[in-house]
Structure 1
């Protein structure tokens, strides 16, 4: 709170006129980020609703890279967070997912979004600095000991033209396809 107060140019104690404590502040910050995520609509196919939500969440976490690690750690949820959870679960339940499968689907999709975002933050980018770092790594890599790693590193994320959005779509489509199969199986029994 002292650091935040300093950055805002106020005394840390004055912040307590607006929030009860650090947890209250983090809850509010997380709630604001979640409010930026497009809530899934009930009037579209569940897969499309989850796809739109995933892309919107990815964009929000790209704008606020600190937020993903706090979302699931917050005990109390603000109204924005609760409305968001309710809309996601509503789409899944209306599509025919059981309560248990809805929870699993929600967790799976969110784990993918958060994990992909974290990996993106840690990846070298396709800019010149990132390319130089990747080149240095490849030159130091004993390719005879790690031929598959060297092959992938030289042709994938460090290469010019790498399409991170296409990688995200590939994984998301696999998840949605798998969930559709689980849903179809559950509905046929």
Structure 2
């Protein structure tokens, strides 16, 4: 029997296939353009077919975050707690580099899905298994904050995208930089002290890979020092 074109294209859906297609589509067209209808077109199904697997757009985004978490490498067996944490954080950062939209979605999630909770649990476990107290681990997690997901809030993010603007012509940009230097000389000194990485792993600006690892290593060295000192948080009266 000869199959009809519609039958050839028809693919049995499951939740994983829907989420992987959504991730790929967001990579291609951006998260703002992603919709249930556009995703259905990509999968050659009617939109109602998607609702058997995800209840709505919010649940779809939750699932996409879970798909990104699945790309983060597990803790390295046999590594010291500090090396294990460092490698895990950098793996998360590389996952975000593959999906530039992911940071916004991760930050927008209010409910923690099972995969997200499992990731956080395993992250905490690396500290505890390394001998750090629950008290110090608690504060270490707060200090790392978004860094455990591979990103930080950039201090000097002067990209046009961050400002919600289109890129300025070089001449206009030079004038603006000169005016900034006159008004805010200390910022100008810092901005001129090192080269910016135009191909930063998560967006443009100063928060390139070096800056990210520099701060990460400072934090990890600090946690290690406090651990060796037997540090405990102050007892409140």
* Same fold? TM cut 0.5: yes
Specify every segment of 5 or more residues in structure 1 that has no aligned partner in the other structure, as ranges. Answer: none
How far does the alpha carbon of each residue in 1:84-111 deviate from its partner, in whole angstroms, 9 at most, with x for none?
Answer: 2232122110112222322332332243
CA distance in 1 between counterparts of 2:119 and 2:73 reads: 8
Alignment correspondent of 2:17: none
**Worse overlay, 47-56 or 163-172:** 163-172
Can you list the C-alpha shifts for 1:2-46, whole angstroms capped at 9, x where unaligned? 933134415433321111233321221111101111122352111
Asked if 2 retains the 8 angstrom alpha-carbon contact of 1:131 and 1:159, the reply is: no
Q: Equivalences for 1:48-87 in 2 at 5 Å?
A: 48-71=83-106, 73-78=109-114, 80-87=115-122
Aligned to 2:36: 4
**More helix as a share of residues:** 1
- Is this contact kept in 2: 1:30–1:71, CA < 8 A? yes
Task: Say whether residues 1:141 and 2:173 are aligned partners.
Answer: no
Q: Which moved more, 1:168-177 or 1:10-19?
A: 10-19
What is the TM-score with the length of structure 1 in the denominator?
0.76
Question: For this pair of structures, how many residues does the alignment match?
Answer: 183
Match of 1:103 among 122, 130, 138: 138
Correspondence for 1:153: 191
- For 1:53 and 1:28, locate their aligned partners in 2 and report how far apart those are by CA, in whole Å: 21
Shift in Å, 1:180: 0.9
The residue aligned with 2:228 is 184
The two structures have a TM-score, normalised by structure 2, of 0.62
Secondary structure at the aligned position of 2:35 is classed as: helix
Q: Distance in 2 between matches of 1:52 and 1:83?
A: 17
1:35 aligns with 2:74: no
SS at match of 2:54: coil
2:209 to 143, 161, 165: 165
Q: Which moved more, 1:154-163 or 1:98-107?
A: 154-163
Counterparts of 1:19 and 1:45 in 2: how far apart (Å)?
Answer: 39
Deviation track 1:122-150 (CA, whole Å, cap 9, x = no partner) reads: 4449xxx799376343123252x422111
Separation (CA, whole Å) in 2 of partners of 1:77 and 1:124: 32
For the residue of structure 1 that corresponds to 2:229, the secondary structure is helix
